[in-house]
Amino acid sequence: MERIAVLTSGGDAPGMNAAIRAVVRAALIEEIIPFVVFEGYKGLFEDNIQMVDRSFVSECINRGGTIIGTARLPQFVNDDVQKKCADNLKDKGITNLVVIGGDGSYRGALGLSRFGIRVICLPGTIDNDAPGTDYTIGFDTALNTIVEAIDRLRDTSNSHQRCSIIEVMGRHCGDLAVHAGIATGAELILSSERVMTKENILDELFNAKASGKRHELVVVSENLFDVNKLAEEIEEKVGMETRATVLGHIQRGGRPSGKDRVLASLMGARAIDALKMDFDSCCVGMVNNQVVVQDLKTCLDVVRMPDLGMYTDSERLK
């Protein structure tokens, strides 16, 4: 009987459990023996691999995080590390591996595929930056967490006539920032896709205040500015009391939204279809509202284009 293993890698994301569950359950229906690898590529290297049954994934569809753990293993870029990982799988008769993670995990998976393992990648990251998909598992939940947090900040910001800066995650991708900014009617959305000079930022906020705005929300992607320093500059140049809030890892936790559970479940099941249909190493994505299977290397070669129109639209929506 064919065998398949599943691991989660990189930052955890709500909905990863629903994806693991779908892989295990869909595999069993097709009489494929499922295994899990604990702690991502680190566990794969350390041979932390276990055969599982149906009940292993019971009661996890609604849980945040990942029940099989995740990790980052910088040494995974080395061929000898990847070969050892592939050997650990092959020693157990496993030649198929589902990798649930982001862009980095996909690159690792492609490396592993050179050593006789067919990899099937599922996009699991709150950053929405995985190749070959419009949306990643975890993005919707994180977005809703951010929106709820900003709604709370709006209350106090409005009461005190303050400017609130909110730093959100996304690594180098501004999708969380731009979606959250639009959903909360932010005055400014700053991310690597649309960098503004300090001068422009201060001018915009000054003009907004002059136009009679009682308070202002500024959503900023991580790694762009020192938000506490930016708050001081706004206080000084715009003349508005300002507070900065870094939302941090709160954004990664919590029960997955219904949308993420559905996405993860459909993608997990499709991974088993890809195996049955004898695809080479591939990735599953949601493209134009359809769950699709595409070639992994081809998707990794495509430069992901940000939807700049959203930034333009946000100008009219604040």
Q: Is 107 in the site for ligand ADP (CB under 6 A)?
A: yes
What would the two tokens of residue 134 be?
A: 């419009």
Asked if residue 38 binds ligand ADP (CB under 6 A), the reply is no
Tell me whether residue 53 is one of the annotated catalytic residues: no
Binding partner of residue 170 among ligand F6P, ligand ADP, none, CB under 5 to 8 Å per kind?
Answer: ligand F6P
Shortest separation between residue 86's beta carbon and ligand F6P, angstroms: 25
Q: Of the candidates 117, 137, 150, 169, which one interacts with ligand F6P according to CB under 6 A?
A: 169
Q: Which is nearer to ligand ADP, 101 or 268 (CB)?
A: 101
Please say whether the beta carbons of 233 and 197 come within 8 A. Answer: no
Residue from the set 14, 43, 65, 102 that interacts with ligand F6P by CB under 6 A: 102
∠ CA 298-300-305 to the nearest 5 degrees? Answer: 105
Q: Is residue 72 at the binding interface for ligand ADP, with CB under 6 A as the rule? A: yes
Our CB check for ligand ADP shows the closer of 77 and 302 to be 77
Distances (CA, A) of 60 to 63, 233, 261: 5, 46, 11
**Residue 154 burial class via C-beta count within 10 angstroms: exposed 0-12, middle 13-18, buried 19 and up:** middle
Buried b (16+ CB within 10 A) or exposed e, 273-309: ebbeeebebbbbbbeeeeeebbebeebbeeeeebeee
- Active-site residue among 127, 129, 175, 260? 127
Positions marked active-site: 127
**Which residues would be at the binding site for ligand ADP (CB under 6 A)?**
9-11, 41, 72-74, 76-77, 101-105, 107-108, 111, 125
**Which residues would be at the binding site for ligand F6P (CB under 6 A)?**
10-11, 102, 125-127, 169-171, 222, 252
